[in-house]
Chain A
Amino acid sequence: MNAPTPPATPNDFAAYPDAQGRFGQFGGRYVAETLMPLVLDLEAAYLATREDAEFQAEMADLLTHYVGRPSPLYFAERLTEHFGGAKIYFKREDLNHTGAHKINNCIGQILLARKMGKTRIIAETGAGQHGVATATVCARFGLPCVVYMGAVDVERQKPNVFRMNLLGAEVTPVTSGASTLKDAMNEALRDWVTNVEDTYYLIGSAAGPHPYPMMVRDFQAIMGREIREQILEAEGRLPDAVVACVGGGSNAIGTFHPFLNDEQVRIIGVEAAGDGMGTDRHAAAINGGRPGVLHGNKTYLLQDAEGQITEAHSISAGLDYPGIGPEHSWLHDVGRAQYLTATDIEALDAFKLCAELEGIIPALESSHAIARLPDIARKVGKGGIVVMNLSGRGDKDVATVADHLGRTI
């Protein structure tokens, strides 16, 4: 149903969005008029930081000494052997401060918020990783922080809720809709439209109105740039494929973007297929949705025949979102990236396999990408190189996994 339509192939895949925040037909700024001046201000402020040496230096310093960058590129020798194909490398974002890639973007945005003179930070969170990262940088800079989190997610991610509280953030459970990430984002937007003077909305995904998809991507692209350098050092050449899981898609776009113009590098995202793509319980916007408008941008969405947004389903709270960042929608349509899927069960199996063979407990989100590695490694073949972004650690997920294995802890 979503066969890529063939628009003209751009000469420079990395040159988007355009001035209107468009990636082809996707992206844009579909927000209430009250918020338009705010997103325009944000865009201007963000673009100014690109030229601001002091800003860049402060960000680089924090990324080194606070986050712990660069994160290692690790050769997963036993998984490579097990799959029997291309060499598998993991980009170890799980080793960052706060345990996932989310902090990269939060460092950039908190510095921007301070520069803009904002005194209150709000955020939405699904799994809680972005909420924890936001609460962390707010604590670091002494700013009050309100995190909107679906009530269902509050229940299934209790340790992260407590972590946010320890960091001084107020976690507001959202009970509208299905009480998950989509509803948390609605509620954060409602807060922002109410508190326009002092509040900065720190979006964690490469989604939302322009400039967020561009800005979050840019802050996350440090991962892809490091991978380039690290793989050149380790192997003397670029990888044959880069792989990442995709919910909203910030870890994926940060990994992919520096490789978009390297035609020999295959780019592969993995969406959450929940109970399976043959069911209506999944979270695969590209593989199971169609273009529409939600949360400030035009993108692939899970929706019914009437254009009502439907609920996503995934074992992984971080992928449990009915949309996807607009740049992914565009990369799919122009055929530059390929989007596969992995089910809950496949992700659980990959989770266990990675723990047992590599001594790394991956986040359930990242486990979706691991689940597709056997096929990808085989397809690329021996002598090839595949880099996967291990976007987060799985400590937060052990209760969920125990539950699914029928164990009590």
Chain B
Amino acid sequence: MTKSRIEARFAALKAQDRAAFVAYVMAGDPDRATALKILQGLPAAGADLIELGFPFSDPMAEGPPIQKAAQRALKDGMTLKGVLDLAAEFRQGDDTTPLIMMGYLNPLVTWGFEAFAQAAAKAGIDGLIIVDCPPEEADPLADALDAADISLIRLATPTTDDKRLPVVLRRTSGFVYYVSVTGVTGAKEADAEAVRPAVARIRAASGLPVAVGFGIRTPERAGAIAQVADAAVVGSALVDEVADALAMNEDVTERVLSKVRALAEAVRRARTSLPA
């Protein structure tokens, strides 16, 4: 049941000949109430899918923006169960926007994969991206998620060569996340022309939509990526809005959602037909 939200959303976008805009927000950043308001406002602001970060103390693949977002969320007391509660509350008002949780393995190890997967399915989670769980280590988690009908979204990167690609794509479902730059989140900028052949290669090998992230901060860049990929993901630039709004004592929700509107608009305008 839950898997179909991702498939349905990409099918609908394909029918409209446009790429998805994926917004990443950190659950509980800067506090639970604000994070819920942001989450609830994302679909109307133009987010086609939502990546809901869950905080970890040692996020090894994140640049400073998401590191700080995780610290704000942890400081406010966010827990893994709290993230699922947020998701469940969001689901009460939205049963169609796919919710993908993104984070690190250890909190899931602590909960136990099976119990977590069942709880996540109940909360309306559609997919999971676990940064420090490569395919070689993923089977126990994938088994638990399969049983709960949740997609384990796989990551392909510029270092994924043809030999490795089948390993990465084994047991994948939903979509494939292409990490467009070597580096941490929010540090380098993705080059749409360099991304184009990689996306085509992964799409052909997987038969799945390909989302591109890790190097998109501006509407211009999001629009360029939307011309070559099935989805453009923005994370660091959105959590930076949280930090900036806090620093300038502005309305956090409005800052984030207005950035989302600008990015989503650029993605919607980007093209009229999917590239072959």
The answer to whether A307 touches B110 (Cβ under 8 A) is yes
The answer to whether B110 touches A306 (Cβ under 8 A) is yes
- Given A32-B131, A306-B79, A309-B57, 6 further pairs, Cβ under 8 A: A30-B132, A33-B179, A177-B57, A196-B158, A292-B110, A307-B106
**Could you list 24 A-B pairs, sorted by A, with CB under 8 Å?**
A28-B136, A28-B137, A33-B159, A34-B179, A35-B159, A36-B136, A177-B58, A186-B58, A186-B59, A186-B60, A190-B184, A193-B182, A194-B187, A196-B159, A293-B109, A294-B106, A295-B58, A296-B132, A303-B106, A303-B110, A307-B106, A307-B109, A308-B57, A309-B57
> B residues 195-228 with Cβ under 8 Å of A?
none
The answer to whether A190 touches B159 (Cβ under 8 A) is no
- A240-251 vs B, CB cutoff 8 Å, 1 = contact: the mask equals 000000000000
Q: How far, in whole Å, are A309 and B109 apart by their CA atoms in the complex?
A: 12
The answer to whether B133 touches A307 (Cβ under 8 A) is no
Q: How far, in whole Å, are A358 and B136 apart by their CA atoms in the complex?
A: 50
> B residues 151-171 with Cβ under 8 Å of A?
154-161, 164, 168
Q: A31-B134, A32-B132, A34-B179 are in contact. Are A193 and B109 (CB under 8 A)?
A: no
Q: Which residues in A have their C-beta under 8 angstroms from that of B64? A: 176
Q: Which residues in A have their C-beta under 8 angstroms from that of B182? A: 34, 193-196
The answer to whether A307 touches B107 (Cβ under 8 A) is yes
Q: Which of B58, B80, B131 contacts A182 (CB 8 A)?
A: B58
Q: Which residues in B have their C-beta under 8 angstroms from that of A29? A: 134, 136-137
- Asked if A345 CB lies within 8 Å of chain B CBs, one says no
> B residues 105-150 with Cβ under 8 Å of A?
105-111, 131-134, 136-137
Which one of B55, B159, B188 has the highest number of Cβ atoms from chain A below 10 Å of its Cβ? B159
Q: How far, in whole Å, are A180 and B141 apart by their CA atoms in the complex?
A: 31
- Asked if B183 CB lies within 8 Å of chain A CBs, one says yes
The answer to whether B79 touches A193 (Cβ under 8 A) is no
> B residues 43-87 with Cβ under 8 Å of A?
55-61, 63-64, 67, 74, 79-80
The majority secondary structure among interface residues of chain A is mixed
Nearest residue, chain A, Cβ from B132:
A30
**B contact residues vs A (CB 8 Å cutoff):** 55-61, 63-64, 67, 74, 79-80, 104-111, 131-134, 136-137, 154-161, 164, 168, 179, 182-184, 187-188
The answer to whether B110 touches A33 (Cβ under 8 A) is no
Min C-beta distance of B212 to chain A, whole Å: 14
- Asked if A1 CB lies within 8 Å of chain B CBs, one says no
Nearest residue, chain B, Cβ from A296:
B132
Min C-beta distance of A309 to chain B, whole Å: 5
> A residues 302-356 with Cβ under 8 Å of B?
303, 305-310
Q: Which of A31, A36, A309 contacts B106 (CB 8 A)?
A: A309
Q: Which residues in A have their C-beta under 8 angstroms from that of B158? A: 34, 196
- Asked if A20 CB lies within 8 Å of chain B CBs, one says yes
Q: Which residues in A have their C-beta under 8 angstroms from that of B134? A: 29-33, 36
Q: A20-B136, A303-B106, A309-B106 are in contact. Are A36 and B80 (CB under 8 A)?
A: no
> A residues 146-200 with Cβ under 8 Å of B?
176-177, 182-183, 186, 189-190, 193-196
Q: Which residues in A have their C-beta under 8 angstroms from that of B108? A: 307
Min C-beta distance of A370 to chain B, whole Å: 32
Nearest residue, chain B, Cβ from A291:
B109
Min C-beta distance of A198 to chain B, whole Å: 11
Q: Which residues in B have their C-beta under 8 angstroms from that of A291? A: 109
